[in-house]
Amino acid sequence: MTTTISNTPLKTGVVNPSYDRSRLKTKIVHLGFGAFHRAHQALFTDEIAGKSESDWGYCEVNLFGGEELIQKLREQDHLYTVAEKGANKIDVKVIGSVVESLHSTFDGTQAILEKMAEPQVAIVSMTITEKGYCSDPATGQLDKTNPLIVHDLANPTDPKSAIGYIVQALRLRRDRGLTPFTVMSCDNVQENGHVARAAVMGYVQLLDQDLAQWIESNVTFPCTMVDRIVPAATEDTLSEIAELLGVTDPCGIACEPFRQWVIEDNFVAGRPDWTLAGAEFVEDVIPFEEMKLRMLNGSHSFLAYLGYLGGYDHISDTMTDPAYKEAALNLMLKEQAPTLTMPEGSNLRAYAELLIDRFTNPSLKHRTWQIAMDGSQKLPPRMLNSIMSHLESGTEYKYLALGVAGWMRYVSGIDENEQPIEVLDPLANELKSICDKHGRNVSVVQALMSIDSIFSPELANNHLFIEEIEKAYSNLITLSAKGAVAAL
């Protein structure tokens, strides 16, 4: 089948959809048409359509931002490109699993709610980042003071948050006698299904007890573990894709060849057979999730903060420094792996070595600055929970300590060359205020630990933990990031 984008024939060698796209129905509404979703879930769904008679298609929804992306997607008949960039070759695939798209800005709230309430919709999935769940990171429960939640509680039929949309759409389905949909988080959040459930139930219990009981009894929230390194698209990325494709694709995305998807098999209205594309359905996702969050994401954050401070723009650049490479491997094997409880047969050494190979891939330009975003929300599941385990067992955690200190140094907003850092974080203003008050003094460590949405009282009041982080922070100031990593 010859595929065109913007009515332009594509170059030979491009993998096109091999199936009749007209058979696809919108059976999944996905909130958050971002880079990761394009290179992961939508690609899996495209592949199973090519290997079976699957009729599962997506309606992509952006609630905030990305207006131009949705507009361009429509102009391309909802086709877009994924370039899988290995160390030695690039595979270019046109993805055809998206059949519709909506945006709150130009389609309106009610159009999105009506789409979510259509009878054939069986799953509402999400990649909305940690912020999208409107949860309090300290408790894991709904943050009732979140401005979006405050708005939605006052205006439940005209929601703004993803949580408000889900609850209102479920209300419409209940009132119309329709089967509920499964709510499936695909975000890189620990126990993401439980987080989604806690947010939805926390919200609806404040709104309507009868609806809360119906959702409690009828809706499932499976946990998922997703893995694929997908850097944000840059002008260089899009230029490279245009060269490989033969036409400009503003919706294109590049990623690594590796991908993984582990899914709790708990769906109320059916699901695609994603195993045909390599996904794995399991009873309990949590061990796989913690493995990835601590070993991959934890080492990614370590490399992001200390790499950025050390002058490295990309993760692959940090891997050219033997000290950073060795530190990342030691962090995984000596400090993260021992905190995990994995199913029998798991090989964490092989997993760690695979991760180092993935980080080293020079074709991926995964910016340290990008990974460093939203650190206040990423720090607990990626590093602090592991440190709690070490404190309980009395074992060393010097690599994790330097990672935490690296974050504290990074959020000051000034790098080692006295240049400004654009710190993107929900708590950016509070972090900057604390750092400005203390400067590069070790006193900043305890001041930052006073933020209880990041540091639990058990950590913030533990003198051994405080001393370890202060020591690591002092090393960063006196030795520089590169020096402190080398000193490990």
Provide the 10 A C-beta neighbour count for residue 417: 7
If DSSP codes are grouped into helix, strand and coil, which group holds residue 183? strand
Q: Which residue has the tokens 């540091």?
A: 455
Q: Specify the DSSP element, H or E, that contains 359.
A: helix 348-360
Q: Please give the Cα distance from 247 to 5 (Å, whole number).
A: 7
User: Per-residue pLDDT for 2 more than 90?
Assistant: no
Residue in this structure with the two tokens 């001393």, named with its chain if needed = 467
- Tens of pLDDT along 377-418? 899 999 999 999 999 999 999 999 999 999 999 999 999 999
Name which CATH class applies to 4-282.
Answer: alpha beta
CA 474 centroid distance within chain = 31
The one-character DSSP state at 133 is G
Residue 24 CA to residue 43 CA, distance in Å, equals 14
Tell me the CATH class for 286-487: mainly alpha
Q: Which residues of the chain does CATH 3.40.50.720 include?
A: 4-282
- pTM for this entry: 0.82
Does pLDDT of 1 surpass 60?
no
What percent of the chain clears pLDDT 70, i.e. is strictly above it? 98
The string of pLDDT tens digits covering residues 28-54 is 999 999 999 999 999 999 999 999 999
In contact, 203 and 210? CB cutoff 8 Å: no
What are the tens digits of pLDDT across the range 456-484? Answer: 999 999 999 999 999 999 999 999 999 99
> Which amino acid makes up residue 78?
H
Angle of helix 385-393 versus helix 398-410 axis, rounded to 10: 140
Residues of the chain with CATH 1.10.1040.10: 286-487
CA-closest candidate to residue 370, choices 292, 428, 294, 307: 307
The predicted pLDDT at position 12 comes to 74
CA dist list (Å): 231 to 296, 369, 370: 15, 11, 8
* Residue 432 CB neighbour total at 10 angstroms: 16
Give the other-Cβ count within 10 Å of 127's Cβ.
22
pLDDT digits (tens, 9 = 90+) for 190-205: 899 999 999 999 999 9
